[in-house]
Amino acid sequence: MSPAIHLVDGTGEIDGTDQDSKLALCQQILGYQFKDPTLLLSALTHASGAVHRLASNERLEFLGDAILGLTVCLWLFEEYPEYNEGDLTKIKSAVVSRRSCGKVAIELGFDRCLIVGRGVTRNRSYPRSLVSDVFESVIAAMYLDGGDEVVRPRLKVWLADEVRHAVESQGSNNFKSTLQQYAQRELASTPVYRLVRDAGPDHRKSFLITAVIADRQFAAAWGSNKKDAEQHAAANALAELHGDPLPFSSDLEETAK
């Protein structure tokens, strides 16, 4: 279930919150004090609460979308070297989607900082994209005020769960890469793969391989070649680490069914 959105206007008539307190709250959430608070004010101002269209967060949203995309692309490029262009594109698209951005924005509390017109607070049929837009506009405001060194580390904290989920779901065909990233991040070790045995004639041989991390050996899995067997072994290791059922069997007859 999605978190509830809490919209208040900038008049102080809904919950006693005025523009100054919203700016203070947002900076507290961000852990960053703006040198130019007018940038943040623009980022938080929805078109319905702006004096005119150019005073709203729409231009900052345009810039923030590009900054968000570049930051996530660099992040994935640097930390997931085994993924190809297609995998990286799918993961990036999931991370920067309106759903992800809106979810993170609400979890952080950006919806409580929005400055909107009274019509929006009275009519609850507003688009769900509203909070994802403010996420992007705040990113742009921070970038303009403090640069990449302010934006990048915060995004890596805010979006860590979204990236992890996207890698595990969108990158499901590359279990070895996912396991390597998990092992290096959580266990300070790199997986190795060991051949347990092989079976069958030379022209149709199968291989049973196990993943090993540090001193822990995980459930082995069969594959019609060593590459597939390693992928299956990595998938089994991930399942064990997360307490999930094993996706691949170590029983050759069962695998052949």
Q: Which amino acids are annotated as binding site for Mg(2+), given as ranges?
A: 61, 133, 136
Binding residues: 61, 133, 136
- The tokens of 17 are what? 């919150």
For the chain, give the secondary structure using H, E and C: CCCCCCCCECECCCCCCEHHHHHHHHHHHHCCCCCCHHHHHHHHECHHHCCCHHHCCHHHHHHHHHHHHHHHHHHHHHHCCCCCHHHHHHHHHHHCCHHHHHHHHHHHCHHHHCEECHHHHHCCCCCCHHHHHHHHHHHHHHHHHHCHHHHHHHHHHHCHHHHHHHHHHHCCCCHHHHHHHHHHHHHCCCCEEEEEEEECCHHHCEEEEEEEECCEECCCEEECCHHHHHHHHHHHHHHHHHCCCCCCCCCHHHHHC
Q: Please say if 149 is a catalytic residue.
A: no
> Could you confirm whether 65 is annotated as catalytic?
yes
Active-site position among 87, 136, 162, 230: 136
Give the residue carrying structure tokens 């069997």. Answer: 249
Of 162, 186, 140, the residue nearest 72 (C-alpha): 162
Return the active site residues: 65, 136
